[in-house]
Amino acid sequence: MKITSRIIVFSLLVIVILASCNSVISTPTAREEIAVAKTAIPTFTPILFLSATPPLKIEISTALPVSGVPTTVVLNNGLTWAECVLPYKDYFHTKPDMELITTCLGMEFPTWDDNDKAKFGERVHGLNGDNLRLIVGDVIYETRYTQSNSRKYELLRNGVVIATVNANFVAADPNRRLGNLGGKIVWEVISEPPVLIIDGQNINEEYQLEGSFFPYEINGKLIYFAMKNGKYHIVYDGKVIGSEFDEISMAYCCAKLSVSYGKGQYWFLGRRNGVQYVVALH
């Protein structure tokens, strides 16, 4: 009887000890709870990351349709301003890019005709790239690079210098265009910044511009781009017209699409208020 009692008591003690051990193992300490919490965080991070949409995809996918009816406005000066929204990116002279742009506007891309060629001077061989020569009536306008100064280009009227510009010859000949546009003699030079010399006057200096670019003629009047206060403006017949732009695609060589003109049309790619447009003036 005593042995049986001892066995029962011993058994009860074993049960109590085992229960105590299980209790200690199943309940983590405060430090163990912190460790568990830390190891749990990374399992959620990839899920949150994958659920976010990259900003670039948002910008492209939420752009307005690129094939549809463009916005067209007839300005008070008689010009028609047509614009269409494009995805924001660099555009090149590739078939997909050209088709996207022309389809967006529903117009053919401008090219030069004989009338355009007659407005600009011819290229003649010079010391540094080509010189330009334009004959208007009995007056001969010429540009030339001066050997005495590696950065100096001159505009001459019947042999007399009427304007000078400093420019470096790097990827493209800075002596770009000489034309009779809107009854004005316009010399385009890729200097720093690019400049237009109109009837012998440097218009960057005359109007405190940060650059002047890409002259052409529509309906007998001069049109070009001017930059002032960090914004790009279209100047037509001496007046700023249309909307200002934060960015304009401008390239003087290679494959990137730039300001293009011909057959009485003036096209450009510009960004305004975060939206990319193709604009055609005619």
> Could you read off the pLDDT of 255-274 as tens digits, one per residue?
899 999 999 999 999 999 99
Using the predicted structure, report yes or no on whether residue 31 has a pLDDT greater than 80. no
Using the predicted structure, report yes or no on whether residue 278 has a pLDDT greater than 70. yes
**Section 144-155 average pLDDT:** 80
E-assigned strand segments in 158-210: 160-166, 175-181, 184-189, 195-198, 201-202
- The mean of the pLDDT values for the chain is 79
pLDDT attached to residue 257: 95
- pLDDT confidence tier of residue 74, bands split at 50, 70 and 90: very high
Q: For residue 20, what are its two tokens?
A: 């105590």
Could you tell me which of 78, 27, 90, 59 has the C-alpha nearest to residue 236? 78
Distance, CA of 71 to CA of 186 (rounded, Å) = 31
Using the predicted structure, report yes or no on whether residue 145 has a pLDDT greater than 90. no
CB contact at 8 A, 280 and 72? no
Pairing, β 195-198 against β 184-189: antiparallel
pLDDT attached to residue 125: 83
Q: Which of 62-71, 132-141, 177-186, 239-248 has the lowest mean pLDDT?
A: 62-71
pLDDT attached to residue 30: 37
Distance, CA of 266 to CA of 273 (rounded, Å) = 22
pLDDT attached to residue 172: 72
- pLDDT confidence tier of residue 32, bands split at 50, 70 and 90: very low
pLDDT tens for each residue of 100-121: 999 999 999 999 999 999 999 9
Distance, CA of 33 to chain centre: 54
pTM of full prediction above 0.95: no
Q: Which of 16-20, 180-184, 190-194 has the lowest mean pLDDT?
A: 16-20
**Section 61-88 average pLDDT:** 78
